[in-house]
Amino acid sequence: MAKDHIDPVEALRQNTAQPFEQARAMPPEVYTSQEFLDQELAHIFAKDWFCVGRADALAEPGSYTTCDLAGQPILVMRDRDGELRGLSNVCLHRMSTLLHGRGKTRAIVCPYHAWTYNLDGSLRGAPAMTLNEGFCKDQYQLPKVRCEEWLGWVFVTLNQDASPVAEQLSQVAEMVAGYDMTNYTEAFYEEHVWDTNWKVLAENFMESYHLPVCHAGTIGGLSKLEDMVCPPGLPAFNYHTILKEESLKIAMAHEKNTRLKGDERRTTYLLALYPSLLITLTPGYFWYLSLHPNGPGQVHIRFGGGMSNDFADDPEVEQNFQDLKALLDDVNIEDRGCTEKVFRGLSSGMAEPGHLSHLERPNYDFAQYLMAKIVEGQEAEAQKA
């Protein structure tokens, strides 16, 4: 059953005009239409900060990671002076992409004809170019991309006017100061592609309402709806918290951590830093997802995590963390099942958004954020025109 064309931005405008007490899930077109995705790419991913991972994973000179941000291939490189640099990942010869995935290198060598760049993006050399009279290697420099580090996270943006990450997220820093996010080391990192819209996965992370059911086979039994707290969000992020059972030792604050008091020592924060960095932060370990759309029906996932450095000298922890990673993998399989089912469902003709639980407060705030960004972007475009 094909629906008549509905303007997805207009549908979201009507949806987000409701107060939280009467809110419904976002309309299906917001997830399924290329038209809406184009708006997101232009007004959100091309404008906001995007997280490419953890700074400690890029510690050595020559360590790099790559991403595609709103259609622009970007590389982030630790240069010889220890600075992180964002650079265009497009060769200045016949425009191949240069580096792929994550790794470590002494120079950036194009895989097509071996034009070779220094870690700062200047051209070091190019084979068989001496007979072209116009060619001068000193005139070639990979364009720079803004890159910032914040509490151990590495972000890039294509927007010269974006305010600094630390400014946008200062309230997050205050709220979780006792966890000291800088003091965690990444132990695993993977990239995945799932067949669902990026927002379905982001929203799945934002609510723990699904834990007892979707995760019945793993962590569901440990998750009590009454232990979940979902306060209203703020302009740049939303969050909720869960109290963890004392039995999961690596989720508790280590005795070296004297900053966290009382129940905070077993509190897990689920932070959704807009648009798409999702962090599960426990006093002992953390894991994260950084999402980018790959078309309306696919999401590219950067998935990493590790332990607080407070546990570094604890001999049992390595095994405990490996057990946790195995559990996370099982939990992820369940989330994949649920989020791919949601995408199939909302792509169907009879899909209609139902009311939200009070435990889906962050989802409501996320919808408000999306609408605000698109309106802001459209107004800026209209002013230019």
Interface contacts to ligand FES, rule CB under 6 A:
91, 93-96, 110, 112-115
Quick one: 69 or 91, whose CB is closer to ligand FES?
A: 91
Quick one: 48 or 335, whose CB is closer to Fe ion?
A: 335
Residue 40 near Fe ion by CB under 5 A: no
Quick one: 335 or 365, whose CB is closer to Fe ion?
A: 335
Give min distance, CB of 338 to Fe ion, in A: 7
Give min distance, CB of 96 to ligand FES, in A: 4
Contact segment (CB under 5 A) with Fe ion among 164-172, 232-240, 296-304, 335-343 equals: 335-343
Number of H helices, E strands in the chain: 9, 17
Total of chain residues touching Fe ion, rule CB under 5 A: 1
Contact segment (CB under 5 A) with Fe ion among 16-24, 164-172, 217-225, 328-336 equals: 328-336
Quick one: 88 or 208, whose CB is closer to Fe ion?
A: 208
What is the C-alpha to C-alpha distance for residues 363 and 210, in angstroms, rounded to an integer? Answer: 13
CB neighbour list of residue 158: distance below 8 Å, 6 or more residues apart: 46, 47, 69, 70, 72, 145, 146
Out of ligand FES, Fe ion, none, which partner does residue 335 contact, by CB within 5 to 8 A per kind? Fe ion
CB atoms inside a 10 Å sphere around CB 37? 22
Residue 335 near Fe ion by CB under 5 A: yes
Out of Fe ion, ligand FES, none, which partner does residue 115 contact, by CB within 5 to 8 A per kind? ligand FES
Out of Fe ion, ligand FES, none, which partner does residue 242 contact, by CB within 5 to 8 A per kind? none
Q: Quick check: 324 and 317 in contact, CB under 8 A? A: no
Give min distance, CB of 92 to ligand FES, in A: 7
Quick one: 259 or 341, whose CB is closer to Fe ion?
A: 341
The C-alpha angle 241, 310, 204, rounded to 5 degrees, equals 25
Out of ligand FES, Fe ion, none, which partner does residue 93 contact, by CB within 5 to 8 A per kind? ligand FES
Out of Fe ion, ligand FES, none, which partner does residue 96 contact, by CB within 5 to 8 A per kind? ligand FES
* C-alpha closest to that of 24 among 271, 367, 376: 367
Give min distance, CB of 344 to Fe ion, in A: 17
Out of Fe ion, ligand FES, none, which partner does residue 145 contact, by CB within 5 to 8 A per kind? none
Q: Quick check: 360 and 238 in contact, CB under 8 A? A: no
Q: Quick check: 50 and 38 in contact, CB under 8 A? A: no
Quick one: 100 or 358, whose CB is closer to ligand FES?
A: 100
Out of Fe ion, ligand FES, none, which partner does residue 364 contact, by CB within 5 to 8 A per kind? none
CB burial of residue 39 (10 Å; 0-12, 13-18, 19+): buried
CB neighbour list of residue 205: distance below 8 Å, 6 or more residues apart: 270, 272, 278, 289
Residue 365 near Fe ion by CB under 5 A: no
User: CA dist 335 to 19, 73, 229, 341, Å?
Assistant: 29, 28, 21, 10
Give min distance, CB of 110 to ligand FES, in A: 3
Q: Quick check: 32 and 26 in contact, CB under 8 A? A: no
Q: Quick check: 91 and 85 in contact, CB under 8 A? A: no
Give min distance, CB of 61 to ligand FES, in A: 23
Q: Quick check: 208 and 272 in contact, CB under 8 A? A: no
Q: Quick check: 40 and 375 in contact, CB under 8 A? A: no
Give min distance, CB of 225 to Fe ion, in A: 14
The C-alpha angle 195, 237, 230, rounded to 5 degrees, equals 90
Contact segment (CB under 5 A) with Fe ion among 86-94, 188-196, 247-255, 327-335 equals: 327-335
CB burial of residue 67 (10 Å; 0-12, 13-18, 19+): buried
The pair of structure tokens assigned to 135 is 């060619």
Out of ligand FES, Fe ion, none, which partner does residue 91 contact, by CB within 5 to 8 A per kind? ligand FES
Out of ligand FES, Fe ion, none, which partner does residue 20 contact, by CB within 5 to 8 A per kind? none
* Contacting positions for Fe ion (CB under 5 A): 335
